[in-house]
Amino acid sequence: MLTIYSPDHRHQDAHVELTDGQLVAPYENPKRADRILSQIQQADLGMVLPPKDFGLAPILRVHDRGFVSFLQSAWSEWLAAHGEFDALPLNWATRTMRHDRIPETIEGKLSYYSFDAGTPIIAGTWQAAMASAQVALTGQDWLVQGERSVFSLCRPPGHHAARDLYGGYCFLNNAAIAAQALLDAGAERVAIFDVDYHHGNGTQAIFYDRSDVLFVSIHAHPSHSYPYFLGFEDETGAGVGEGFTRNYPLPLGTDWKAYAEPLEQALNTIRHYAPDAVVVSLGVDTYEADPISSFRLQSHDFHAMGQAIARLNKPTLIVMEGGYALEAIGVNVGNFLQGVEE
Ligand code: Q9C
Ligand code: ZN
Query: Residue 281: CB partners within 8 Å, gap ≥ 6?
Result: 158, 159, 175, 192, 193, 194, 195, 196, 200, 203, 217, 319, 321
Residue 219: exposure state from Cβ atoms within 10 A (0-12, 13-18, ≥19): buried
Structural domains present in the chain? 2-341 (3.40.800.20)
More confident residue, 40 or 19: 40
Span 31-53, pLDDT tens digits: 999 999 999 999 999 999 999 99
Q: Which of 159, 160, 198, 303 is catalytic?
A: 160
> How far apart are the two ends of the chain, measured CA to CA in Å?
10
From the list 269, 202, 267, 192, the residue with the least C-alpha distance to 231 is: 202
> Looking at the CA of 115, which ligand is closest?
1
Give the closest residue (by CA) to ligand 1 atom 2: 322
- Interface predicted TM-score (ipTM) over 0.90: yes
Structural contact between residues 202 and 229, judged by C-beta atoms closer than 8 angstroms: no
Cα 239 to ligand 1 centroid, rounded to whole Å: 30
Structural contact between residues 257 and 173, judged by C-beta atoms closer than 8 angstroms: no
Span 260-302, pLDDT tens digits: 999 999 999 999 999 999 999 999 999 999 999 999 999 999 9
Residue 69: exposure state from Cβ atoms within 10 A (0-12, 13-18, ≥19): exposed
Cα-based angle 342, 181, 53 (whole degrees, multiple of 5)? 95
Phi then psi for residue 282, to 5 deg, are -95, 105
Entry pTM: 0.98
pLDDT of residue 143: 98
Residue type, 34: D
169: left (phi over 0), alpha (psi -120 to 50) or beta: left
pLDDT of residue 162: 99
- Residue range 248-253: mean pLDDT, rounded: 98
* Spatial separation of the C-alpha atoms in residues 319 and 317, rounded to whole Å: 6
Could you tell which of 199, 226, 286 is best to mutate to test the pocket of ligand 1, judged by most ligand atoms within 8 Å of the CB? 226
Span 216-242, pLDDT tens digits: 999 999 999 999 999 999 999 999 999
pLDDT of residue 125: 99
Using alpha carbons, list the distances in angstroms from residue 301 to 53, 270, 272, 275, 308.
35, 21, 25, 25, 11
The answer to whether residue 160 is catalytic is yes
Structural contact between residues 155 and 12, judged by C-beta atoms closer than 8 angstroms: yes
Using alpha carbons, list the distances in angstroms from residue 289 to 67, 177, 240, 284.
35, 30, 40, 10
β-sheet bridge partners, residue 112:
none
pLDDT of residue 101: 97
Span 4-14, pLDDT tens digits: 999 999 999 99
Using alpha carbons, list the distances in angstroms from residue 248 to 100, 162, 199, 232, 258.
33, 20, 9, 8, 12
β-sheet bridge partners, residue 192:
215, 279
Span 305-328, pLDDT tens digits: 999 999 999 999 999 999 999 999
* Spatial separation of the C-alpha atoms in residues 53 and 253, rounded to whole Å: 41
The radius of gyration of the chain's CA atoms, rounded to the nearest angstrom, is 18
Confidence grade of residue 18 (pLDDT, cut at 50, 70, 90):
confident
Mean pLDDT of the chain: 98
Strand 277-282 vs strand 190-194: parallel, antiparallel, or unpaired? parallel
Cα 227 to ligand 2 centroid, rounded to whole Å: 9
User: What residues flank ligand 1, with Cβ below 6 Å?
Assistant: 19-20, 118, 157, 160, 168-170, 196, 198, 226, 283, 285, 292, 321-322
**For 308, how many CA atoms within 13 A lie in the half-sphere containing its CB?**
21
**For 1, how many CA atoms within 13 A lie in the half-sphere containing its CB?**
29
Phi then psi for residue 252, to 5 deg, are -55, 145
Dihedral sign (CA 268, 290, 254, 218): negative
pLDDT of residue 342: 87
Span 53-100, pLDDT tens digits: 999 999 999 999 999 999 999 999 999 999 999 999 999 999 999 999
Atom of ligand 1 nearest to the CA of 167: 12
